[in-house]
Structure 1
């Protein structure tokens, strides 16, 4: 593992704790998209289907378990845990996220049928990459609806954005030393970073003030 991937993993993990801290401190889930969390849970469950079948390292196993369990915990808090769930803004969390879950899965499966050596795990992994690149859309849509973003929610989203940026640096580093590149991961990461780019610009420009989103 290189330094870029390690920093990316730390930023990803930090994003979870930022969000949990925000919820606990403010005693509400205002401005948070439940639908984004749903998509992320699908992403992690599909990507880590092999969690208990293949052992890579303790670090790898622990991170996978943390990603799944923390995402499930956030879903529980936002939708079911009182008093937090009472503040969930379902009206503004209106992005039609299911409309691209099923077509995307069908498309990836059809494309994969052209390769006889691709199994179930590979299909699920490929789909999880593309789905992760779009999973932030409900959260971005919610921010557009409310026209503002709390500071700490901005920190959470910025952590996710920079996590993907450092993963791109990780792939560049790997390619430089091995001349090997995973095109699916790279293209998915570039797409995800591009979706974050406008928000990251506004976030950095705000310099600690409440982030106001213009349409």
Structure 2
């Protein structure tokens, strides 16, 4: 006699059988419900952005623990770490020039730890680096982000170069995880520490998006004009949405794997 399925397993099975458009609709509805919940329980919505950066830092800490304990970087994308370091460096520059605050300190810490991960992969753990699987051509994302930032950027009073740099780091952050997802798709099996790192990125991106959405609601749309005019406010929020959708599928399978008691995450074809 088969054991009865858990309610979450029944729901997961039902969702998995739905068409892609229905899945996308369910993701949107779930996200909106989560944002409304956060609006109710979190009174100062600035805390959400700080929490998002803290979760990102926790994800990096997981990577550091993996590298130090297991002495292997298998399953990690060097290219994704390099893209992360690039957008963090540009954002840190903008933060110093445009608005020095707590986010500047958090970005500094995250950049330092990311550079340490890059150093370990490049020079200390080279033998375990899976270069053949890390085959994403990063110029496919760096060049379009750079070109897009030239035409669509904030229209604030800051220097034009600074505004372009700000837009560039926003666009690049949205797609920086793509090489890591490509590595995981090539391997089909994701190790626990790597899965936890990517899941942390997904949570961080959602909290960041929730922060901006709630800020727009709280200011009744005035925040959008504070960000600038033209297409920039829409592109800014769209970049946040892109990050969430890129990671949403992986986060779903990660949660499903954890609930099922599996330490190693196995990806199906087309996932990530």
Q: What is aligned with 1:95?
A: 136
Q: Name the larger-Rg structure.
A: 2
Structure 2 unmatched runs, 5+: 1-44, 225-232
Say if 2:56 is the partner of 1:12: yes
SS at match of 1:100: helix
Q: Aligned equivalents of 1:200 and 1:116: distance in 2?
A: 36
Q: Aligned equivalents of 1:15 and 1:91: distance in 2?
A: 24
Task: Give matches, 1:31-42, under 5 Å.
Answer: 31-42=75-86
Alpha carbons 2:141, 2:175 under 8 Å: kept:
no
Q: What is aligned with 2:219?
A: 178
Q: What is aligned with 2:119?
A: 76
Root-mean-square deviation (CA, aligned residues, Å) is 2.1
Q: Count residues in correspondence.
A: 211
Q: Aligned equivalents of 1:37 and 1:130: distance in 2?
A: 16
| Counterpart selection for 1:120 from 148, 154, 161 | 161
Task: Give matches, 1:53-64, under 5 Å.
Answer: 53=97, 56-57=100-101, 59-64=102-107
Alpha carbons 2:156, 2:163 under 8 Å: kept:
no
Residue 127 of structure 1, CA deviation: 1.2
Q: Which has the higher contact order (CA 8 A, sep 6+)?
A: 1
Alpha carbons 1:33, 1:93 under 8 Å: kept:
yes
Residue 115 of structure 1, CA deviation: 6.3
Alpha carbons 1:126, 1:184 under 8 Å: kept:
no
Q: What is aligned with 1:190?
A: 241
Alpha carbons 1:129, 1:184 under 8 Å: kept:
no
Shift in alpha-carbon separation, 1:212–1:191, aligned structure 2, 3 A:
same
Q: What is aligned with 1:153?
A: 194
Q: Aligned equivalents of 1:151 and 1:203: distance in 2?
A: 10
Residue 106 of structure 1, CA deviation: 2.2
Q: Aligned equivalents of 2:63 and 2:187: distance in 1?
A: 18
Q: TM-score, normalised by structure 1?
A: 0.90
SS at match of 2:183: helix
Residue 3 of structure 1, CA deviation: 2.8
Q: TM-score, normalised by structure 2?
A: 0.72
